[in-house]
């Protein structure tokens, strides 16, 4: 985490971050006092990279959609990479609950930023799926 918090220019953890994301990290890195808060900041920074890229090969696929609607999610992915989908790939042997309690709370400013990022990611996924 140190590389991200210090915005180490030689580390992949801070590579490619926009000026806006770097500023957010500078302003809020003091809140990464727990592993949960640190991971939230890392998640936010790494997911922000999607919106700084303007490449037609990049898509956003929400993990919950893959779990809840595997056939549709894998169909979207297979079309994107021009690969025939064998329907058996969407047959998951068991479904596990993906929500787990956090060991400690995420500071409100980080939680709000993560919720905003999740909304952006979901909107992008929905637009690709034609929803």
> What does the pLDDT look like over 22-39, one tens digit per residue?
999 999 999 999 999 999
- Give CA–CA dist 118/97, Å, rounded: 19
Neighbour count for residue 107 (Cβ, 10 Å): 19
Confidence of residue 104 (pLDDT cuts 50, 70, 90): very high
93 in helix, strand or coil? coil
pTM, two decimals, is: 0.78
Confidence of residue 116 (pLDDT cuts 50, 70, 90): very high
Return the residue matching tokens 């329907």.
87
- Give CA–CA dist 104/38, Å, rounded: 11
Query: What are the two backbone dihedrals, phi and then psi, of residue 122, each rounded to the nearest 5 degrees?
Result: -65, -40
Q: How high is the pLDDT of residue 3?
A: 92
77-98 residue pLDDT tens: 888 888 888 878 777 666 666 6
């Amino acid at each position: 985490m140190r590389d991200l918090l210090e915005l180490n220019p030689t580390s992949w953890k801070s590579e490619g971050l926009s000026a806006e994301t770097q500023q957010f990290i500078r302003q809020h890195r003091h809140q990464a006092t727990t592993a949960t808060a640190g991971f939230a900041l890392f998640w936010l920074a790494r997911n922000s990279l999607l919106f700084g890229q303007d490449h037609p090969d990049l898509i956003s696929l929400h993990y919950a959609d893959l779990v809840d609607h595997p056939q549709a999610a894998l169909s979207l992915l297979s079309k994107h990479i021009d690969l025939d989908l064998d329907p058996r790939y969407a047959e998951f042997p068991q479904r596990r609950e993906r929500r787990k309690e956090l060991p400690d709370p995420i500071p409100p400013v980080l939680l709000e930023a993560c919720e905003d990022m999740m909304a952006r990611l979901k909107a992008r996924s929905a637009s690709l799926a034609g929803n």
